[in-house]
Amino acid sequence: MIGVLVNPRSGDGRGCDIWREVRDRLQKFSVPHVAVITSRAGETGELAEKMVSEHSIEKLIVIGGDGTIHETAGGLWQAYRNGSACKLAVIPAGTGNDFAKAYGIPTDPVRALEVALSNENYIHIDLLRTAGGMVAVNSIGAGFDGMVAKLTNEAGYKKLLNRIGLGKLSYFITILRVFLHYKPSRAWLEVDGVIHELPDMWLAAIANIPFYGGSIQICPAASPFDGMADVVVIQSRGRIRLLPILFTVYQGKHTQHPSVSFFKGTSIRLRTEHPLLIQADGEFTDSTPLHVDIVPAALTVIGTAYKTYN
């Protein structure tokens, strides 16, 4: 049985429009399915787990953005731990759609549905799991990006830009806003037992895929298939020195900047002098300290772009 989980509010209502188109095609081609529409933020994971356990769902198609996928992954991970495995397919309907970009999932709903219904192109991906049990599929970050995630999701201009098809621009606007006033913090990053002191940390992002924040290539070498987490750290006493990063990070050309460092490991801990905001898959979640472990090959995803990571 195929399940369809719909967030009608994704992309400022685009999720609802996409669902109507998808529903018509499923009915036209007599595809057996059970559909559930979310009614509030925070319930998606629970609904996903319930669908798998009650309806024996073997493939769950999610219509939504990265936040919806984030919650769904948590539900599927819990179902898997309880003995019920389910493949994840996505029809993107959000602002950034970084997950879809990473796995070659088309933005066109009809083409994305064709990929979702395929039984050939799937892979097992790693998950990022916090000490509290939360899982993420894209990234978990603290500091500057945590603030950007929080303010972007609260911003009125995000809704306006989504309506005219320029939703990704909302992240860049917030980046500029935060950049003007953000103050770095002393931090201590521990990667597989090795501690690195960071006197002036702006952000530390633990990446499972190269992209976040609307296709920013924050960690170009990150792979969701290698059983390792890639960590990128940006630190500097002054903000002027970081200006070039703002205009090169979208192309992943910031990697040689002297303020940027990369690490790789399976267990990541971050302590900061002052509590810093944390984002997980673009959603504000908590504040530091942070402890993340990699869970290898924990989720099965349907997509097309796996060779790009080889």
Using the predicted structure, report yes or no on whether residue 183 has a pLDDT greater than 70.
Answer: yes
The answer to whether residues 94 and 47 belong to one domain is yes
Phi, psi dihedral angles at 229 (to 5 degrees): -105, 135
Tell whether 72 is covered by a domain: yes
Tell whether 125 is covered by a domain: no
* Residue 153: per-residue pLDDT: 87
- Yes or no: say if 149 and 78 are a contact pair by the CB < 8 Å rule: no
Using the predicted structure, report yes or no on whether residue 111 has a pLDDT greater than 90.
Answer: yes
Q: For the segment 38-86, what is each residue's pLDDT rounded down to a tens digit?
A: 998 889 999 999 999 998 899 999 999 999 999 999 999 999 999 999 9
* CA atoms within 13 A of residue 58's CA, in its CB half-sphere: 6
Domain that holds residue 156: 139-295
The answer to whether residues 204 and 263 belong to one domain is yes
The answer to whether residues 181 and 217 belong to one domain is yes
Q: What is the CATH number of the domain that holds 83?
A: 3.40.50.10330
CA distance 85 to 308: 26
Tell whether 300 is covered by a domain: no
The answer to whether residues 153 and 267 belong to one domain is yes
- Yes or no: say if 66 and 138 are a contact pair by the CB < 8 Å rule: yes
The answer to whether residues 145 and 291 belong to one domain is yes
Tell whether 310 is covered by a domain: no
DSSP 217: -
Q: For the segment 210-253, what is each residue's pLDDT rounded down to a tens digit?
A: 999 887 999 999 999 999 999 999 999 999 999 999 989 999 99
CA dihedral 113, 117, 119, 121 (to 10 degrees): 10
pTM (two decimals): 0.93
